[in-house]
Amino acid sequence: MTKTDELIAYISERHPMQSKYLAKVRNEMTDQDIEELGNVLDYFAEDHTIAEMGDAYLLFVEDTLAETKYFVENGSSRYRYSTLEDVIDQVYSNKAYMEKYMLGLQVSGYLWENHRKILGYFRNVLKS
């Protein structure tokens, strides 16, 4: 079992909705995607377990959904944090949270279709 499969199994076990989504994602991932995500997981494995990386991804997912919900419920007119000071105070200055969030964001780069497309775009740009 690859580290990518290990991570997907961990996340799927803890979040049934992600399980269905990730089964589809895993089938769509290229060998390059799987290898690169494996390299990312190996890099972070020095300081984090697969469980911690999976939990960080789930934190990222839940927070993204919560912020989207807030935005929609407030008439798509404002975000929860409306000033830079709010964001610094509530988010960026929380080192433990930011570490998990950024780790989850890194993993989403391979598990979210739109993030993989962005990655693919930059792969092509760098080739040319």
**Interatomic CA distance for residues 74 and 40, integer angstroms:** 37
Q: DSSP label at 116?
A: H
> What's the pTM value of the predicted model, to 2 decimals?
0.86
φ, ψ of residue 49 to 5 degrees: the values are -85, 165
pLDDT tens by residue, 100-113: 999 999 999 999 98
Q: Residue 90: its pLDDT value, please?
A: 81
**Interatomic CA distance for residues 105 and 45, integer angstroms:** 16
Angle CA 89–91–97, to nearest 5: 130
Residue 38 has pLDDT above 90, yes or no: yes
